[in-house]
Amino acid sequence: MRRVILKLAGFMTGLLLLQAPAAPGQARIPASFSWSNDATMDGIAIPVIPAAPFSATVEVETTHHLPDGTTLTQKRTSKIARDFRGRTRQENELPLPAANGTKLTQVVLYDPDTRIRTLLFPASHNARQIVPRGPFQRAVETTNPPPDTLPLLLSQNLRSLVTIQSENLGIDFVDHMEVQHARQTQTFPEMLIGNDKPIIVVLEYWFSPELQVFLRANRDDPRSGSQMLAVKDLRREEPDDSLFQIPPDYKLVEGDQPVRVN
């Protein structure tokens, strides 16, 4: 059976963008989407905030029309949860198929009290923990900042050059929850990312101020096509405590040893 082995350094580059814990001594990080390496949405990041527990399934459908008339449609599903303490769990599909063709998954746990991030690989029952270095400092509690809607891979310098025209479309409701409905027109100027003409991206979203997450989003980008994101099966009760722990039958991989995924 073919096995997939991941070494921590390269794998963590994209993985750390999936969640948004506040850095030590800094203000709370804004809510955002999670992004793939080609700057398409592949889910939502979960801000680490207490007293707002929930669990849900996130579905993202991407449709891309090729010049020859071919239509490509891809779907990604993830499961997310946050407890009353602010601990988070995010289960995502890996872009690597198993030997039998089934989809592989990974689970990312984060505990804001210890700042320990735990990676779980259900197919192999392996786990890895990333323990922070340096003295512990709690994040400064501030009011929630506005959500971040630009791809995380863009540097701050490039972000400052993108023109964003925002439209407030009022208050709406998704799954009986009050949300802010808005539309953004994002203009990437010439030569910002090698483009010889301006690139215009239109993003419409429904954002929950209470949970600090996006519940719906539609995004049209001429580079990657159209995307629809939807949060489904939303539950507001406290998730089971076992979801935020390493299962007893998992092996914790220590040090710099490579992690077997399947």
CATH number, domain containing residue 96: 2.50.20.10
How confident is residue 96, by pLDDT bands cut at 50, 70 and 90?
Answer: low
Residue where the block lists tokens 């406290």: 238
- Whose tokens are 């680490």? That residue is 48
Domain count, the chain: 1
Is 161 among the domain residues? yes
Whose tokens are 């954002």? That residue is 207
Decide if 123 is inside a domain.
Answer: yes
Q: Average pLDDT, stretch 207-227?
A: 94
For 136-163, b/e burial (b = at least 16 CB within 10 A) is: eeebeeeeeeebebbbbebeeeeeeebe
* Residue 94, pLDDT above cutoff 90: no
In the chain the first and final C-alpha atoms are separated, in Å, by 9
Residue 246 lies inside a defined structural domain of this protein: yes
Q: Would you say how long the chain is, in residues?
A: 262
pLDDT at 203 over 60: yes
- Give the structural domain span for 213: 5-136+151-260
Residue 146 lies in a domain: no
Give domain status of residue 210, yes or no. Answer: yes
What region does 10 belong to: left with phi over 0, alpha with psi -120 to 50, or beta? Answer: alpha
- Taking the whole predicted model, whether its pTM rises above 0.75 is answered as yes
Residue 61 placed within a domain: yes
Residue 13 has what pLDDT? 36
- Assess if residue 142 is contained within a domain: no
Rounded (5°) CA angle 13-18-22: 100
Lowest mean pLDDT among 139-143, 180-184, 216-220, 245-249: 139-143
* Whole-number pLDDT of residue 104: 84
Predicted confidence at residue 101, as pLDDT, reads 65
Q: What is the 3-state secondary structure (H, E, C) of 156-208?
A: HHHHCCCEEEEEEEEEEEECCEEEEEEEEEEEECCCCCCCCCCEEEEEEEEEE
In the 8-state DSSP scheme, what is residue 86? -
Between 78 and 260, where is the model more confident? 78
Query: Does residue 145 sit within a domain?
Result: no
Distance between CA atoms of 237 and 143, rounded to whole angstroms?
Answer: 24
The DSSP bridge partners found for residue 221 are: 225
